[in-house]
Amino acid sequence: MSLGFSLWLIPVPQSPVVKTVMQRPEGPWWCLRRRVLPQHTDHAGVMWHGAYLAWLEEARVEALAEAGLSYSVLSSRGLELPVVGLRLDFRQALLHGDGVELRSQALPRQGLKLPWHTLFMAPDGAVAAEAWVELVLVDLSGGASRRRLVRRLPDDLEEALTILQKGPPPPAGLR
């Protein structure tokens, strides 16, 4: 197994997420709706590739909050979830004014990695982009120079991940 390095300079094993296209998992999706605004686009009105990354993070943070754990609570304890692996496949352009639905899933843990899968759904219902993201839990409570990978997740994060993997509850009227 080869080692890669994250932006946090923590050695992490390479995984299939960044090496190959993975099969799309079945199951429940956490949804976030956004509109492509001028600040998300290039001069041609096409959604800029960097905007996808911000929306991926927003989708994960919002899903985590819906599962009962605010990311700010983790951060206040010196815990962070940096991205250590990313694959983003573009299939069709998203344009200024388009309504977009991000459908995200928290996948089962793979060693230290917490994988996520997200679909960017275009207004016509087609998959405009597909992303595979891997996170790890890092403890920064000792300061940036003493950061360390966390092997055992805190109970509240473990519980939130269990909820995330099950998917969101049905809307109140459908329970």
Task: Say if residue 105's pLDDT is above 80.
Answer: yes
Q: Is 102 inside any structural domain?
A: yes
The structure's pTM equals 0.82
The per-residue pLDDT of the chain, averaged, comes to 87
Burial class (CB in 10 A: 0-12, 13-18, 19+), 38: exposed
Q: Is 173 inside any structural domain?
A: no
Task: Say if residue 44's pLDDT is above 90.
Answer: yes
Q: Is 129 inside any structural domain?
A: yes
Rounded to the nearest 10 degrees, what angle do helices 155-166 and 49-66 cross at? 110
CB 96 within 8 A of CB 77: no
Task: Let me know if 98 is a catalytic residue.
Answer: no
CATH number of the CATH domain containing 70: 3.10.129.10
As given in the structure block, the two tokens for residue 35 are 């509109």
Structural domain boundaries enclosing 114: 3-166
Q: Is 13 inside any structural domain?
A: yes
Residue 3 vs residue 121, higher pLDDT? 121
Q: Which of 42, 89, 98, 124 is catalytic?
A: 42
Q: Is 146 inside any structural domain?
A: yes
Q: Is 141 inside any structural domain?
A: yes
Give the tens place of pLDDT for each residue, 62-102.
999 999 999 999 999 999 999 999 999 999 999 999 999 99
Q: What whole-number percentage of the chain has pLDDT above 90?
A: 76
Q: Is 172 inside any structural domain?
A: no
Burial class (CB in 10 A: 0-12, 13-18, 19+), 164: buried
Q: How confident is the model at residue 20 (pLDDT cuts 50, 70, 90)?
A: very low
Assign 41 to helix, strand or coil: strand
* Number of domain units in the chain: 1
Q: Is 171 inside any structural domain?
A: no
